[in-house]
Structure 1
């Protein structure tokens, strides 16, 4: 597993911004299609419904294609609309550095179990150093 410093994670922000800028409209469209296809009043199986399913499946494949390389780099995609965690160490404690679409840098962290709601500002980037075994 790779551990990131704040500087390393922040260097990826332009790539993340560009990638999620492409992906976010696809995610929104998939969500709208899911409301139609999987809602309480799902339509009967018609040609139009099959077209919607094909569109949804194609968009999901595109999303996976865009986000897969980020995951291969060791990032954890927590939300396809632009929420990313980076493994890090704060002293001896494993934590996540946290970035959300629209932020200019990685400026928050949280415990492994806390999630987004437990985000805290990074007071000192030097508190988060990569391990050289990662």
Structure 2
């Protein structure tokens, strides 16, 4: 088995068992992402108009929301997963296959993990399990 930088490697069974929890976590990430996008137009003018006071309430609210997004993503990261795309919820699970580390690949609304890919191939290189 090759050395790898991941905290853990997942079996297909372990990864599939996390899907219900991940669906909830990704819904939270999407809510936070959407709230940031909603607030973004209010922040830019406030920051330009007030270079020395930090942008006032709009910038402060945006910062709080950005931190909430960070926390939501960090929960996923702390599970040992790689969040590849905030918009699609694309996740990779480090996995051992034939003595090397590859990624099990999953994104909502897939019911279970059915594909994997080499680390350097990404989603375009997905192969059936």
Shorter-chain TM-score: what band? 0.7 to 0.9
In the TM superposition, residue 59 of structure 1 has moved relative to its aligned partner by 1.5
In the TM superposition, residue 12 of structure 1 has moved relative to its aligned partner by 0.2
Runs of 5+ unmatched residues, structure 1 = 123-134
TM-score relative to the length of structure 1 = 0.73
TM-align CA RMSD: 2.3
**Equivalent in the alignment of 1:99:** 106
- Count of equivalent residues: 117
TM-score relative to the length of structure 2 = 0.76
Runs of 5+ unmatched residues, structure 2 = 1-6
Residues 49-86 of structure 1, C-alpha deviation per residue, up to 9 Å, x if partnerless?
A: 64332222212211222222322221112223422111
In the TM superposition, residue 37 of structure 1 has moved relative to its aligned partner by 6.5
**1:108–1:56: structure 2 CA closer, same or farther, 3 Å change rule?**
farther
**Equivalent in the alignment of 1:13:** 19
Residues 98-129 of structure 1, C-alpha deviation per residue, up to 9 Å, x if partnerless?
A: 1112221122211101112222222xxxxxxx
Larger RCO (CA under 8 A, 6+ residues apart): 1
Cα distance in structure 2, aligned partners of 1:68 and 1:52: 24
What aligned pairs does 1:45-60 form with structure 2 within 5 A after superposition? 45=49, 50-60=56-66
